[in-house]
């Protein structure tokens, strides 16, 4: 992934975050690697990061928009996985996880399958 970003001259920061874990980050887009393999992609809404031009938000404003309403309008069913202290964790049929805090989007995480054999028909 690092070579792809360099090839297209996409600036990013790289950091090792633990034994075997590292990430590449551009604005609010984070690629997580475990033991050198892409594990997941995370989209943050931290005030410290601007919107990434690598993400197509399809007219959704991740800083002030209603994620649940937007998903309903797009026909994306969400399942509430956990709710605690004003936070909610929702899962889409694709396996994408969306974390909300006090009704506002906190982050979206997409798990990357390691090989085609791991892919399912509904992923």
Q: Looking at the predicted structure, is the pLDDT value of residue 49 above 70? A: no
Quick: pLDDT tens for 61-80.
887 889 999 999 999 999 99
- Contact yes or no for 80/68 (Cβ under 8 A): no
Alpha-carbon span 16 to 114, nearest angstrom: 20
Q: Looking at the predicted structure, is the pLDDT value of residue 119 above 50? A: no
Strand partners, 30: 25, 42
Q: What is the pLDDT of residue 114?
A: 53
* Vertex 64 angle, CA 59 and 66, to 5°: 70
Q: What is the pLDDT of residue 123?
A: 41
Domain boundaries, the chain: 1-45, 57-114
What per-residue string of b and e applies to 94-112 under the rule 16 or more CB within 10 Å gives b? eebbbbbeeeebbbbbebe
Q: Looking at the predicted structure, is the pLDDT value of residue 91 above 90? A: yes
Backbone φ/ψ region at 71: left (φ over 0), alpha (ψ -120 to 50), beta:
alpha
């Amino acid at each position: 992934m690092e070579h792809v970003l360099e090839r297209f001259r996409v600036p990013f920061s790289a950091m090792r975050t633990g034994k075997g874990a590292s990430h590449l980050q551009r604005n609010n887009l984070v690629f997580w690697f475990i033991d050198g393999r892409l594990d997941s992609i995370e989209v943050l809404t931290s005030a410290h990061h601007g919107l990434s031009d690598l993400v197509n938000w399809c007219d959704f404003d991740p800083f002030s928009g209603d994620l649940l309403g937007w998903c309903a309008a797009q026909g994306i069913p969400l399942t509430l996985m956990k709710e605690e202290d004003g936070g909610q964790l929702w899962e889409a049929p694709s396996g994408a996880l969306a974390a909300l805090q006090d009704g506002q989007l906190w982050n979206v995480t997409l798990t990357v399958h390691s090989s085609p054999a791991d892919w399912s028909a509904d992923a």
